[in-house]
Structure 1
Amino acid sequence: MTQPIIAVRHLTKTVQDAGGPLTILHDVSFDVFAGQTLAIVGASGSGKSTLLSLIAGLDTPSTGTVHWDGTDIFALDEDARAALRARRLGFVFQSFQLLGNLTALENVMLPLELAGRRDARAAARRMLERVGLGERLGHYPRVLSGGEQQRVALARAFVVEPAVLLADEPTGSLDHATGERVMALMFDLNREHGTTLLLVTHDAAIARRCERRIAIEAGRARELSAPAAVADAG
């Protein structure tokens, strides 16, 4: 069987709150294979975003681990995980996470410059033109609409040609019509680049556009639709 691009193994996350230990995720296991689209769904507070943060190595589990292409990311120190993220992952967030003191072009150039790409300006310009913002290159986030800001965020995520795109409620700050346009663009870009997509969403219609859906319920994961050769959620 082909090695999964992401293998989640027995992840548990427990935190301390005023009432004592609180388990957010319990013994979550599943595989994701290259090129798949996977939606992680569940009620507010179910642990969806926590799971995505663990998969990205932005948070650490209480038990269990995550492998990227066979590498146990929690066997690495934070600097090594950050370097691996920069090479392998793209991110799209509900709150856009654009730098307010940089123009649209500069925001998209930033990850390329950090990677030492000499063609950062030209590549960023091409990607912004691809998402329909060729006339907004010099605009700052504060003068862009929510939909435009999310398109800049998509351009920034895809310009580095990541193996995996992680999207956390990417339409959560947008009205329905704008969200529909942004999601259509995201899926188009995903197909064009052959990216593996992990999408956290509460929107059932968006989730149904993915090949697979995993529901987080009471801290446990359950596969709602599993193609052949893919392990069930633990």
Structure 2
Amino acid sequence: MSNQAAIEVEGLSKRVSDAGGELTILDNVGFQVSRGESVSITGASGSGKSTLLGLLAGLDVPSQGQVTLLGQRIFDLDEDARAQFRARHVGFVFQSFQLLPNLTALENVMLPLELAGKPAEQAARKVLDEVGLSHRFNHYPSTLSGGEQQRVSIARAFITQPALLFADEPTGSLDVVTGARIIDLMFQLHQEHGTTLILVTHDQDLARRCERSIEIHAGRLVAAV
């Protein structure tokens, strides 16, 4: 694996069985992503792109193939070790925000550092200020707009200064104007922090913001440009 590669995917396949027999969700997918690169994963609903993202993050296990992140073959690790690897190196931004409702914005952002046993409050205040939410520290998710919740989610993803950021349809539940602001913010932080960004989207305008695009069709890689 190249020293410049953040991600290497080799022969990745995912099959599941149901009442109708075996279903292939991903079929022999392979590609590399350089460190600091921004890459979109596109494809129609049901094409396998979210499954691919879950496998890249080690949240799911493939039927065959391997993913190497930052030089580590992640499926050589057990589930606990993969979780520890993610905590050190990976950030996530989800369409549904995934904020804890009983924690304030500040507490949600502090959580990854607290779980790692690191000082958290000052760093959380700084990153919330970076995303324009210094006036919302003590607000609970239910009192924040969708765009504000997504900004909290982005702040939480970046607080550990991850080498890798995975985003799954991050603007899917936002209106067009708010979504555009969120994407501007995400790319700004990606560039400032040198984070490798992998973005699953069906939005072609958003995909074009990335340096490269990987297209999945019916579980197979049809383009990687």
TM-score category, normalised to shorter length: over 0.9
Q: Which residue of 1 aligns with 2:124?
A: 124
CA displacement at 1:196 relative to structure 2: 0.2
Q: Which residue of 1 aligns with 2:79?
A: 78
Cα distance in 2 for partners of 1:20, 1:109 equals: 45
Preserved contact between residue 216 and residue 223 of structure 2 (Cα < 8 Å): no
Cα distance in 2 for partners of 1:129, 1:77 equals: 37
Cα distance in 1 for partners of 2:41, 2:19 equals: 28
Percent identity over the alignment is 64
Preserved contact between residue 47 and residue 219 of structure 2 (Cα < 8 Å): yes
Q: Deviations over 1:19-77 (max 9, x none)?
A: 11000000000011100000000000110000000000000000101011222111110
Q: Which residue of 1 aligns with 2:189?
A: 189
Q: Partner letter of residue 167 of structure 1?
A: A
Q: Which residue of 1 aligns with 2:37?
A: 36
CA displacement at 1:4 relative to structure 2: 1.4
Preserved contact between residue 6 and residue 33 of structure 1 (Cα < 8 Å): yes
Q: Which residue of 2 aligns with 1:111?
A: 112
Q: Which residue of 2 aligns with 1:154?
A: 154
Q: Which residue of 2 aligns with 1:231?
A: none
Preserved contact between residue 3 and residue 70 of structure 1 (Cα < 8 Å): no
- Partner SS state of residue 154, structure 1: helix
Q: How does 1:215-226 map to 2 (within 5 A)?
A: 215-225=215-225
Q: Which residue of 2 aligns with 1:163?
A: 163
Q: Partner letter of residue 22 of structure 2?
A: P
Q: Partner letter of residue 218 of structure 2?
A: A
- Partner SS state of residue 51, structure 1: helix
CA displacement at 1:3 relative to structure 2: 4.3
Q: Which residue of 2 aligns with 1:202?
A: 202
Q: Partner letter of residue 55 of structure 2?
A: L
CA displacement at 1:224 relative to structure 2: 4.3
TM-score (norm 2): 0.98
CA displacement at 1:222 relative to structure 2: 2.7
CA displacement at 1:194 relative to structure 2: 0.5
Moved over 6 A (4+): none
Structure 1 unmatched ranges of 5 or more? 226-234
Preserved contact between residue 96 and residue 149 of structure 1 (Cα < 8 Å): yes
**Do structure 1's residue 87 and structure 2's residue 100 form an aligned pair?**
no
Preserved contact between residue 165 and residue 197 of structure 1 (Cα < 8 Å): yes
Q: Partner letter of residue 128 of structure 1?
A: L
- Partner SS state of residue 135, structure 1: helix
Q: Partner letter of residue 140 of structure 1?
A: Y
- The range that moved more, 63-72 or 103-112, is 63-72
CA displacement at 1:108 relative to structure 2: 0.3
Cα distance in 2 for partners of 1:197, 1:222 equals: 20
Preserved contact between residue 66 and residue 73 of structure 2 (Cα < 8 Å): yes
- Partner SS state of residue 208, structure 1: helix
Cα distance in 1 for partners of 2:189, 2:39 equals: 15
Structure 2 unmatched ranges of 5 or more? none
- Partner SS state of residue 105, structure 1: helix
- Partner SS state of residue 133, structure 2: coil
Cα distance in 2 for partners of 1:110, 1:224 equals: 36
Q: Deviations over 1:189-226 (max 9, x none)?
A: 1101000000000000000000000000121113342x
CA-based RMSD of the aligned residues comes to: 0.9
Q: Partner letter of residue 198 of structure 2?
A: L
Preserved contact between residue 37 and residue 198 of structure 1 (Cα < 8 Å): yes
- The range that moved more, 65-74 or 100-109, is 65-74
